[in-house]
């Protein structure tokens, strides 16, 4: 789904969309770095110097509640945000926190979980942890 479709859906639900909110959404849809709220703030602030971090967080929460983005929480690390709201896997670097998408079919795993537990599975989240190639190249890891 592109930004225009998402904006129309939200407008139909009565959500007011400012240029700042649109910039936040567009940034999330065009990036694959899984940014933090601070990363998003820095990008949007370049275009809208008066934007507040509160606007960033409020918009992220609204987009998440409406199912248009994913929030990826990692304990004491800052949450990261993913503009691809379809359920998919992630690989996370244990050193630098970099998050990368790993696409693989999900349906069979969810069906198996339903069959074995009797639950109606609404979705799931799975991450793999390791050390990214950039961190492996650093001297202190060799």
Give me the mean pLDDT over the 111-137 stretch: 91
Global pTM exceeds 0.85: no
Got the DSSP string for 31-87?
A: --S---HHHHHHHHHHH-TT--HHHHHHHHHHHHHTTSSEEEEETTEEEEEES--S-
> How do beta strands 89-93 and 127-130 pair?
parallel
85 burial (CB, 10 Å; 0-12 / 13-18 / 19+) is middle
Number of structural domains (the chain) is: 2
Same domain, residue pair 121 and 93:
yes
Residues 118 and 92 in one domain: yes
User: Measured between alpha carbons, how far is 83 from 139 in angstroms, rounded to an integer?
Assistant: 34
Is residue 141 over pLDDT 70?
A: no
Domain co-membership, 71 together with 91: no
The 10s digit of each residue's pLDDT in 77-123 is 679 999 999 888 999 998 888 999 998 877 688 889 999 999 999 88
Domain that holds residue 51: 1-83
Does 45 share its domain with 114?
A: no
Query: Helix, strand, coil proportions of the chain in percent (round to 5)?
Result: 45, 15, 35
Alpha carbon distances (Å) from 18 to 2, 13, 59: 17, 15, 10
- Give the SS3 label for residue 135: helix
* Alpha-carbon gap, residue 99 to 7, rounded angstroms: 27
């Amino acid at each position: 789904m592109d930004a225009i479709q998402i904006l129309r859906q939200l407008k139909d639900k009565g959500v007011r969309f400012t240029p700042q909110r649109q910039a936040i959404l567009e940034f999330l849809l065009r990036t694959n770095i899984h940014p933090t709220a601070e990363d998003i703030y820095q990008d949007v602030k370049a275009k809208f110097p008066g934007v507040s971090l509160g606007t960033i967080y409020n918009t992220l929460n609204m987009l998440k509640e409406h199912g248009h983005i994913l929030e990826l929480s990692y304990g004491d690390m800052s949450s990261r945000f993913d503009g691809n709201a379809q359920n998919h896997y992630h690989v996370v670097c244990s050193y630098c926190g970099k998050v990368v998408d790993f696409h693989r079919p999900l349906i069979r795993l969810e069906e198996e979980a339903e069959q074995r537990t009797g639950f109606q599975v609404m979705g799931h989240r799975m991450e793999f942890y390791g050390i990214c190639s950039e961190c492996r190249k650093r001297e202190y890891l060799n």
